[in-house]
A and B are shown apart, each in its own frame.
Chain A
């Protein structure tokens, strides 16, 4: 046994712990020089599985007693997606060093770290640094940043599944590729929860380095114990067919809260947390002071307070959104309640795992449906969990906005040469296929700002020196770039704060502009009265009124995942074939399913059901592909467009996660359309562009791209007033690029992203091809069926039209209101 191994074992023994098999496998793999991915749930001991590999290695290298050696430089870099996690990890790692007598220091470096500490770290690095991908990039953007890593032996990426599939993931890939060229012997390991594409996740993490050394996935065999239970309505007859309030379920939740020490109540969107918090307090006033609210628009101070109170067992319940999905170890949490469908298997598992957060403990999860068909989703998700059908996280390919940012980062940090940077960038999974033309376009963009049209241009960002070095133009530009590093983008939002100065969070302009001073609204679980809006701040005071509106935040509606939709079809298929089911949700739903069967049809898995119904509104045609809202949005638009090509007709389209509806005043010739192969995936992209407002969608996409690529300047932190002379919205930039620089690759990227993420073009194509292989059953029910009704009442309606803007204007109503004041 080596010195290092012996020291670790002694440390475990001292604590009365036993090493897990997967931990030993990780250490050994690391010591053999391998890299890879550890697939482990939170609370399983995954941190030590990574940490002691390099620790043992270092101890083994020391000739004298390792306790007396003065260590040099940074040995282990630990990346985490959430800076809130950093200090917890640092504490655990530092404790182990102290226990071992290992003379290492462990520190964090995030946007919360003080300037003094950051400065000291540049002079003297700790042996382990816990940081975020953004903070790593900031380090690399400093001149001399590369020197900080010359002793680095291991990079760990925690919660890799969270980063993968986002631009922060691409950022991580680029950072790692650069570290590898600085330190060719660097070993990279990731930690990931279970996702559908673990192999791919590993390959993305390692990039080109995957081929060079042996790599592996270490799986934790111990099964996390979990109980899942649906909270069922008293009677399905009185349970609503649609909607998402589910207020009548409140009484059912209160006993669950009372039965546990601490409960997390997850909702899917921020506005729902406000509503449920309010409802729970009304129904159980005794919870006042013991219940809190947590979502992404609340001020960091408020959120930190809630997280801290959770850890100290001061709270009985927290109503929250995905902001509490990961991270911080909330051991006191005994029970998790999910309100409404989580829409995905991975998300459900992640949330369930928030309870029973220590090795061997049981996770307890309750699912609260808010309408009837969500019971099918509950059954589908449980079946998917049983068969470990978990969603894949697809990595992002070729995001040039991230590359623009990265090359500027490299230029700031001592400069780069084209060939080296290109080779390095091609070493990542994201850019492995980038063409010379694309790369050179990015280089040109950062050095000349695109085509120069006249002689008086003074574009200044990155300069190409005579010796072929790309370097940042000046210190000011470097400083500004550093401020802007990061890919997380927030919408333009107004701060909400009390007159006394206490900050509560942020709110979208669209909501608050509809509220007049003196009126009240719910926010952060409080009823607030709007006093005034000044610059970008909403000043409020406590309101004594009972009523008040609940703000809505844009985004947040998650579409049903492919895995859940597949299992939903299977659940309905089983019901259609009258198979006996042990799923209580499906048994509860039987009366409703029988109604669907009696009025129309319960489709088997190889069948696509279409229903045509007439009402006073006109002709409704419903389709039920069960493919998620985004796919239905695209499919509905394309179908309506293709039918409109057959004869002049105009439609409105509505959709939910189960299906979509096209509605017209005239009879819709669906019978004829079906004969003409309207579900073909030929010319799909052309028909999408012809049928949806892709420009508007791309404009929204461009907001993120413009920020990542540094096209909008958000001002320096602490600077009270923005530099007004440099302000332009991303929407304005989009319009200007669209008009004057159509070949701009960032603009093209906005359209590509729209197709890929907004319209899920690949999934749409697959869905269309699948439909063509299915039997189509067209029914003519006399009234709206249980499947149709929720789509009908869902307010998500889009209108199809190809009219000119000026014609549209004539039809639109100008908002006529009393001028304010």
Chain B
């Protein structure tokens, strides 16, 4: 399973500011040199929040997101999980105990959260999960923030990595074919991560000259 899902065809290896990064079809990034898995916009508890309001979203979507995360942590030598914001969907999270259960499965890994606009839980909740919460982080050539608009925190950084937008692109083919797909969006000094959660919409972006786009489809990351 491991080998099949992380084949070289499925993954795009990128050299960015002298660092090797793997863009994974699981909607996140592996930074091998630092043993760090970078994911953004997990929106945990979103399905539960919908359901508690009488909107019958299949709850399997939450467990699927968490399962995917745990599998990656099992396959890769992850020492640190870095979340670029919007870890939890909202203040009320009926599925909190479930999240605790999953956290216990990778309790040895360090867990860092860059605070996003959705991250409004009281501090003791993060402590309970053993999560360090930061506003931003500079490390190596990178600045990590939630909202790409906050890139000012580290003018010195070569590349700013962020989430927040849930980037996607629309591809057009002949015969009126179109596809909307989530993507990694690489600008000259920015790298936008797709939302990790499958239960999130897309903000369609239009690449300009020099932008590179890597879409996720059929379990593969593909540069277009």
**A contacts, CB < 8 Å to B:** 445-446, 449-461, 473, 477, 480-481, 652, 710-713, 725-729, 732-733, 735-737, 739-741, 744, 797-799, 804-806, 808-820
Contact = CB atoms under 8 A, between A and B. Distances in A.
A809 B215 contact: yes
Given A712-B55, A808-B177, 4 more contacts: A805-B179, A814-B171, A815-B172, A816-B207
Interface stretch (B87-95, B104-112, B125-133): B87-95
A459 B56 contact: yes
Main SS at interface, chain B: loop
B155 interface: no
B124 interface: no
A450 B54 contact: no
Contacts of A806: 217-218, 220, 222
A736 B209 CA distance: 34
Given A453-B63, A806-B218, A806-B220, A733 B213 contact: no
Nearest to A454: B98
17 contacts: A449-B56, A450-B56, A457-B48, A480-B54, A711-B56, A713-B55, A725-B49, A725-B90, A739-B64, A799-B173, A804-B218, A808-B179, A812-B172, A814-B172, A815-B169, A817-B206, A818-B209
A621 to B, nearest CB: 17
Nearest to A732: B201
Nearest to A808: B173
For the complex of A and B, the 7 pairs showing the least CB-CB separation, nearest first, are: A799-B175, A819-B208, A461-B54, A449-B56, A812-B173, A740-B60, A458-B94
B54 A809 contact: no
Given A453-B60, A460-B53, A726-B49, A819 B171 contact: no
Interface in B85-144: 89-90, 94-98
A456 B52 contact: no
Contact of B94 (A450, A457, A732): A457
A812 B218 contact: no
Given A732-B201, A808-B177, A812-B171, A453 B50 contact: no
A430 to B, nearest CB: 22
Given A812-B171, A812-B173, A818-B208, A736 B199 contact: yes
Contact of A732 (B53, B55, B170, B200): B200
Contact of A797 (B176, B199, B206): B176
B54 A729 contact: no
How extensive is the interface on chain B, given as a class?
35 or more
A458 B89 CA distance: 15
B177 A458 contact: no
A459 B54 CA distance: 6
Interface string B29-54: 00000000000000000001111111
Interface string B173-191: 1111101010000000000
Contacts of A449: 51, 54, 56-57, 59
Contacts of A815: 169-172, 206
A806 B172 CA distance: 13
Contacts of B173: 799, 808, 811-813
B95 A456 contact: yes
B55 A726 contact: yes
B1 interface: no
Contact of A454 (B59, B172, B224): B59
A816 B213 CA distance: 11
A736 B65 CA distance: 12
B215 A450 contact: no
